[in-house]
Amino acid sequence: MNQKSTVKGNKNCVPLKILMDKNSVSVQELSNNTGLTRPTINSILKGTSNPTLTSLTAISQYFGITIGQLLGEETISEDLNSLEPDESFWISYPVYQWHEIYTVIKSNQEIQVSCIIKSDIDISKSSFAVVMNDSSMEPFISKGSTLIFDPKRKPYDSAFIIAYIHKANDIIFKQLHINKPHQFLTSTNRKIPSENIKLSDNDEIIAVLAEMKKTI
**Which of 46-55, 87-96, 116-125 comes out lowest in average pLDDT?**
87-96
In the three-class reduction of DSSP (H, G, I as helix; E, B as strand; rest coil), residue 16 is classed as: helix
Lowest-confidence segment of 138-142, 157-161, 198-202 by average pLDDT = 138-142
- The correct answer on CATH 1.10.260.40 for the domain covering 14-80 is yes
Looking at the chain, the whole-number percentage of residues with pLDDT higher than 90 is 31
Query: What does DSSP assign to residue 87?
Result: G
Strand, coil or helix: 119: strand
Residue whose C-alpha is closest to residue 189's, from 139, 143, 126 = 139
Q: Is 130 exposed, middle or buried, given 0-12, 13-18 or 19+ CB atoms closer than 10 A?
A: buried
Domain boundaries, the chain: 14-80, 88-213
Domain 88-213 fold? Umud Fragment, subunit A (2.10.109)
Q: Provide the mean pLDDT of the chain.
A: 81
